[in-house]
Each structure stands twice: as structure tokens, then as C-alpha cells.
């Protein structure tokens, strides 16, 4: 019989300890270390006072933490002013006028000179001059420096504030004439359509079932069910405890989606911004590389004894409390295996219509798929005898998962590269890396090389079958490396970079059938009026997988391409474009809900334009407008069926011509 407390020698606990090492250093130790190296927060509060049509007085106030010195703005650090304010408007002239606050001269050993420093509350005053007229928004940054003893921190803070009386007019965002609730024709999709909640639930459940055969989860099935059954004394009590354990797993994954409702309520575009954030994608790239190397056995991350003792103690707290904590521990320690599966299945939930609601649907399915076997094996414990024994095959699964994580890491790096347009991972480079990973996986499964102390594998039918599968997929990718008509790779359409993002000067498979006017709504509208054609708006993104699928599989349909090219003026508006708008177009916009939003980049503008006029933050989304900017149809979302998309385009043309 098992005791009421799980001993640290129990295989269940030992297995948990061995898996938690994958996440511990990154999620617990690294943030603590980084926090210890950070300077105290200094928040500058900007205020602008209008002097005349071209001049303003900018006042920046801040509180310097006790014990720290703030270099006065006139102090020269190797001939560079310590307090420099810059603007995104290259024509703006900025000059320091005066400072307020306690100031003294101090000997600085770092620069081997005496420098002016300030403490306590400070106010720095600058004069802004705009020779060509003041914009509606001042956007820039302040550079400042903190010092304490031998510690020195050069810091920056972005500045954005509205200039009262600015003569430059900002861009049009909310256009009442669009009125998508009352289009000329009712064809199209309801707002925020996208993937159905049911399909996302099923996809999530499939991911949960796949996660069961990972080395982080599979060994826990017989151990956990056996533990609960024997610990409970009676079969009924064992079934109850196992049911509570499964229900707790399900509830934990549902609860993980709750914070996104708070984010979504603050800013409906924030989930999209998160998924296309360059630094977040680079963080995931690094995280998946670390996990992959760990799966390959290159290093181990130890578990602190204090944390192990706390886990051991919590496992025996009450009945429901201890069971819930065990479920929470499972969710944490299995993240390195379940995270990539869950992330790849639900990545679209943050950027597709529905946002947090879709995330909950996917998380619910995943939690159910992961929890269901525990409940079923508790109901039918004799099934445990049919499970394969844990052994070398789990090591194989772990290594293969490491290769999969490498491939996913390349995808996250590609997202960042596409948003910033660095040109690091052109399509052929991306596919070349995947070919190398696929070939390595195939050779590993065939036993041609091993990791660490692995023994010589037995080439079972299942192992050979998976080797053939990975080998076939790798061969399928090879044509994508060459400038040929076969480079389209329709089975993975949209996942690699676009065909046009190529190392070749003129990719032969790059033709979309049309060439949209990128990021210029007003220019496209003017062209539509000139040519007397309806305007087709394509809300898209550099990191949008479904957008690429539409362009590569639907836009290339002969009939669709002909209609878009000859009968519409098409404009593609990239909501994740990070280029700064011209200073005259940067502004602080008040949304329909009354929130203040800073519009600084091209992506800020088009994301706000979409959410304000079409009540959506998802891509792709398509809209057809008449010459008076009236909505001719309801918008259209991701539609992989070319015939359906063509019928929607025809409906828009009929509405434009007045055809009944």
C-alpha cells in the first residue's frame, strides 16, 4: 500500500524531478538572475506646451531612486551629452533649455572626470522646433544614464505625446461610410468567423492524445493510476481520485486561457501583436533550441532540493488539494514535450478571429485529450497490461521530438525575419534547414547514428515506418530548394516563407496573378475611382500562415487571378509592418471604445483601421468597397476553396454594378 505522502524515492516523483529540469532554469532561475542585474525603474512623464505654430516646450519629469545618481543632461560622457532627446521626425530641431532638481558635481572613476549628477525628482525642459510645421504626434526617445558606485546603466525610453494645435493632419482611420453592418449584398462571412470552436476543440484534443506518447507523459499513466487506486483503499475511492486528477488536468489547461481575456479586453489587437512580436519569436526560437539540445542529451538542468521538498510536501496536502497540485506539477514538468504540440496546434488561435475564445476551445480539447486516458485506465485498470513497457522507444520519441523542436525553432526565427525583412531566412534557406533536419531524423531512426549512451536500436516495423515517413517528407521538400515550378509545395503551403521571398532574382513560381498596392489605402482608393473599379482590401501580415496559403493556393486559381487583376483594384495592408509612418501621419487616436492609441508604425495604422471599421483583428480578412467607400459585401475570412472565394468576388462585382 502507498502511504498518504508520496516518498521522494517513488518512481512517479523521480520521473517528475527529471523532467522539470527542462523548464526550471529558463522559467525560474534565469528571470531571477536577470532581475538581480537590472537597474531600478525610472519612468519619464512627458508634457508639451505650445509656443507657436512651429515651436513647443517639452518637459520631461522623473523620480530618481534613492541612492542612485542621474547624469545631468549637459554632462558629457566621452563627448556625448548624457540626456539626449531624439525624434522620429528628422526635420525636428531639439535643444535643451534648462533643468530643475538637486544637482551636484561628483568625481566619476569610470570616466576619470568630474560630472554633474542629479538626485530626487527632476524636470528637464527642451525646446522643439518643426520648420515644416508641427505634427499631431511627437514620437521619439530619451537617452539617460544611471550610476551607483561602480554600476553604470545607459538607458532609453520611448516618448509619444500629442501636440496641441499640430498643423499636420493624421491619416483617416474610422470611415463611417463603410458601415459593414449594412452592406449592399449580404454575401460573405459574419464578423470574427474563422475556424469553428468545434474544430479547434478537436484539434486541441488530438494534440493532447499525441502528447500522451511523449516521454514526459507516457510513463506517468500506469504509475499515476496505480498510485491512486492503491492509495485509496477501495476501488470506488480510487476511481474518484483518478477522476479528480483528470478533471484537474482539464481545468488547469482551461484556466491557462483566462488571462488572455483580460488582454483582449484591454486591446483587441494585443493577441495579434503578441504572436507577431519579433523579440517574443526570437525568445521562442532560443527556447526551442535549448529544449532540443536537452532532448539530445547534451546537458542536464538540476532541480534544487528545496523545490523538490516543496513538491513532496504539497502532494500530501488534503485530498483534493494534493491531487490538484499533482495535476499542476504534471502540466509544468511536461511543458517541454507538450508545449511545442500545443503551440503548433493553437498558434493560429491568437491571430485568427475569435482570439481568447478560440484559445479556450483549443486548450479545453488539449486538456481533455491529456486527461481522458487517466480516467479510462482507472475505470479499466486491466488495460494497463496492454501498454508497451517504458524503455528505449521512449528515448527514441524524445530524440525525434528534439528534431521536431529544431524545425519549430526555425519557424519562430522565420516569423521574426519576415516581420523585420532581414533576409536571413529566405524560402530556400528555410527549406534547406528543414531538409537537413528531416534527413538527420531519418538517419537516426535507421540507426546510423546515436546520441549519448544509447544502445544499438532494434529496427522494428514501427521504427522503419517512421523513418520512411520522415524520409518521404524530406524528399518532398527538396524541389523547394530550386527555382522550379515544383517549388510551391502545396502540402505545406503558407508554412515556409512566401515563394517570392527567395534567394533567386526571379522565382518562376512567384506569380500571384496580381500585384497589390501595398500599404496605401488612399492611393488604392484614388486608383479605383480613376479606373471605375471596386476596391478589394486584403488585411494581411508578414507572419500570417493562412495569408500565404490564400495567396499561393487561391489567388493563383486562373478565374480568381483574372478577376482580381482585371476587375478590382487590390490593396494589401500589412498589420505587422514595423516601419515608422511619416511624422505627419503619426498620431494619438481615440478609438470607438474611447481608448487612446498611439499610431506610430504602418502596422499600427492598418491594424487599427481594420478593428475600427471591420470589428476584427484577424488575418487574412478581405473586404470589397465601392467608390463612395460603402461596403459592397460582408467581409471574407480564410477561404481555402477557390470556387467559394470566386463566388464572393462575383457577388461584390454584382453589387458594384447594381446587377440584380
Q: What is the mean pLDDT of the chain?
A: 78
Q: Percent of the chain, pLDDT > 90?
A: 22
Residue 133 three-state SS: coil
Lowest mean pLDDT among 9-23, 163-177, 268-282: 9-23
- Does residue 12 carry a pLDDT above 50? no
The C-alpha cell at 139 is 514620437
Residue ranges and CATH numbers for the domains of the chain are: 11-24+212-389 (no CATH), 54-162 (2.60.40.1250), 517-657 (3.40.30.10)
- Does residue 313 carry a pLDDT above 70? no
List, in order, residues 6 or more apart from 377 with CB less than 8 Å away: 221, 222, 225, 242, 383, 384
**E-assigned strands of 185-277?**
none
Grid cell 505627419 in the structure block, residue: 584
The C-alpha cell at 390 is 517504458
C-alpha span between 597 and 587 (Å, rounded): 8
Residue 15 three-state SS: helix
With contact defined as beta carbons under 8 Å apart, do 378 and 228 qualify?
A: yes
Query: What mean pLDDT is predicted for residues 409-419?
Result: 87
pLDDT of residue 211: 76
C-alpha span between 23 and 29 (Å, rounded): 10
- Does residue 527 carry a pLDDT above 70? yes
pLDDT of residue 526: 93
Residue 140 three-state SS: strand
- Does residue 485 carry a pLDDT above 80? no
Query: CA torsion 591→595→597→603, rounded to 10°?
Result: -50
**Interhelix angle 320-333/235-255, nearest 10 degrees:** 50
pLDDT of residue 271: 57
Query: What mean pLDDT is predicted for residues 169-194?
Result: 79
pTM value? Answer: 0.68
Select the more confidently predicted residue: 320 or 472: 472
Q: Which of 420, 412, 416 is nearest to 579 (CA)?
A: 420
pLDDT in tens, 149-163: 878 888 888 888 888
Per DSSP bridges, beta strands 151-162 and 137-148 are: antiparallel
Select the more confidently predicted residue: 551 or 203: 551
C-alpha span between 56 and 622 (Å, rounded): 42
- Does residue 91 carry a pLDDT above 70? yes
Q: Which of 485, 572, 554, 555 is nearest to 513 (CA)?
A: 555
pLDDT of residue 534: 96
pLDDT of residue 623: 95
With contact defined as beta carbons under 8 Å apart, do 191 and 618 qualify?
A: no
Q: Which of 256, 263, 433 is nearest to 338 (CA)?
A: 256
Query: What mean pLDDT is predicted for residues 260-287?
Result: 67
CB atoms within 10 A of CB 360: 24
Residue 493 three-state SS: coil
**Interhelix angle 220-232/11-24, nearest 10 degrees:** 130
Q: Which of 303, 300, 326 is nearest to 313 (CA)?
A: 326
Lowest mean pLDDT among 376-380, 510-514, 531-535: 510-514
Select the more confidently predicted residue: 588 or 313: 588
Select the more confidently predicted residue: 424 or 337: 424
Amino acid at each position: 500500500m502507498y502511504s498518504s505522502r508520496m516518498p521522494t524515492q517513488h518512481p512517479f516523483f523521480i520521473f517528475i524531478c527529471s523532467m522539470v529540469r527542462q523548464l526550471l532554469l529558463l522559467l525560474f532561475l534565469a528571470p531571477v538572475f536577470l532581475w538581480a542585474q537590472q537597474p531600478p525603474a525610472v519612468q519619464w512623464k512627458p508634457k508639451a506646451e505650445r509656443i507657436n505654430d512651429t515651436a513647443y516646450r517639452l518637459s520631461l519629469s522623473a523620480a530618481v531612486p534613492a541612492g542612485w545618481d542621474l547624469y545631468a543632461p549637459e554632462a558629457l560622457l566621452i563627448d556625448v551629452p548624457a540626456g539626449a532627446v531624439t525624434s522620429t521626425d528628422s526635420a525636428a530641431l531639439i535643444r535643451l533649455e534648462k533643468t530643475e532638481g538637486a544637482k551636484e558635481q561628483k568625481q566619476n572613476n569610470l570616466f576619470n572626470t568630474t560630472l554633474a549628477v542629479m538626485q530626487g525628482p527632476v524636470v528637464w525642459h527642451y525646446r522643439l522646433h518643426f520648420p515644416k510645421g508641427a505634427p499631431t504626434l511627437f514620437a521619439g526617445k530619451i537617452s539617460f544614464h544611471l550610476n551607483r558606485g561602480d554600476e553604470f546603466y545607459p538607458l532609453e525610453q520611448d516618448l509619444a505625446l500629442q501636440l496641441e494645435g499640430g498643423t499636420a493632419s493624421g491619416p483617416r482611420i474610422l470611415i463611417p461610410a463603410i458601415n459593414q453592418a449594412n452592406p449592399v449584398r449580404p454575401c460573405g462571412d459574419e464578423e470574427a468567423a474563422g475556424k469553428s470552436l468545434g474544430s479547434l476543440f478537436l484539434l486541441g484534443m488530438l494534440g493532447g492524445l499525441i502528447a500522451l506518447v511523449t516521454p514526459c507523459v507516457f510513463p506517468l499513466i500506469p504509475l499515476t493510476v496505480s498510485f491512486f487506486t492503491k492509495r485509496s483503499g477501495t476501488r470506488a475511492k480510487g476511481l474518484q481520485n483518478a477522476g479528480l486528477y483528470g478533471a484537474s488536468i482539464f481545468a488547469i489547461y482551461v484556466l491557462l486561457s483566462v488571462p488572455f481575456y483580460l488582454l483582449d479586453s484591454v486591446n483587441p489587437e494585443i493577441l495579434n501583436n503578441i504572436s507577431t512580436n519579433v523579440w517574443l519569436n526570437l525568445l521562442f526560437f532560443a527556447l526551442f533550441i535549448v529544449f532540443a539540445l536537452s532532448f539530445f542529451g547534451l546537458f542536464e538542468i538540476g532541480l534544487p532540493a528545496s523545490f523538490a521538498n516543496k513538491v513532496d510536501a504539497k502532494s500530501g496536502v488534503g485530498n483534493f488539494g494534493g491531487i490538484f497540485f499533482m495535476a499542476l506539477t504534471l502540466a509544468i514538468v511536461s511543458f517541454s514535450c507538450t508545449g511545442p504540440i500545443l503551440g503548433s496546434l493553437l498558434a493560429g488561435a491568437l491571430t485568427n478571429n475569435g482570439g481568447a475564445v478560440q484559445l479556450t476551445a483549443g486548450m479545453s480539447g488539449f486538456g481533455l485529450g491529456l486527461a481522458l486516458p487517466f480516467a479510462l485506465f482507472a475505470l479499466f485498470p486491466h488495460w494497463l497490461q496492454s501498454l508497451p513497457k517504458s524503455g528505449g522507444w521512449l528515448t527514441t520519441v524524445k530524440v525525434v521530438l528534439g528534431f521536431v523542436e529544431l524545425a519549430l525553432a526555425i519557424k519562430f526565427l522565420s516569423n521574426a525575419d519576415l516581420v523585420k525583412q532581414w533576409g536571413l531566412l529566405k524560402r530556400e534557406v528555410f527549406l534547406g534547414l528543414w531538409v537537413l533536419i528531416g534527413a538527420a531524423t531519418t538517419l537516426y531512426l535507421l540507426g546510423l547514428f546515436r546520441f549519448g549512451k544509447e544502445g544499438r536500436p532494434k529496427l522494428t516495423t514501427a521504427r522503419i515506418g517512421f523513418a520512411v515517413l520522415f524520409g518521404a517528407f524530406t524528399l518532398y521538400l527538396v524541389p523547394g530548394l530550386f527555382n522550379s515550378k515544383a517549388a510551391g509545395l502545396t502540402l505545406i503551403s503558407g508554412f515556409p516563407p512566401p515563394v517570392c521571398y527567395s534567394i533567386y532574382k526571379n522565382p518562376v513560381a512567384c506569380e500571384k496573378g496580381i500585384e497589390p498596392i501595398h500599404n496605401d489605402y488612399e492611393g488604392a482608393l484614388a486608383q479605383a475611382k480613376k479606373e471605375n473599379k471596386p476596391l478589394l482590401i486584403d488585411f494581411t501580415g508578414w507572419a500570417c500562415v493562412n495569408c500565404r496559403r490564400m495567396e499561393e493556393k487561391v489567388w493563383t486559381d486562373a478565374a480568381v487571378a483574372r478577376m482580381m487583376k482585371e476587375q478590382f483594384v487590390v490593396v494589401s495592408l500589412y498589420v505587422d509592418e514595423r516601419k515608422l509612418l511619416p511624422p505627419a501621419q503619426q498620431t494619438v487616436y481615440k478609438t470607438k471604445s474611447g481608448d487612446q492609441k498611439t499610431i506610430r508604425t504602418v502596422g499600427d495604422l492598418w491594424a487599427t483601421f481594420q478593428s475600427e471599421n471591420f470589428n476584427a483583428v484577424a488575418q487574412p480578412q478581405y473586404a470589397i468597397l465601392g467608390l463612395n467607400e460603402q461596403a459592397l459585401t460582408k467581409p471574407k475570412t480564410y477561404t481555402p476553396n477557390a470556387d467559394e472565394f470566386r463566388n464572393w468576388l462575383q457577388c461584390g462585382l454584382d453589387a458594384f454594378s447594381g446587377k440584380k
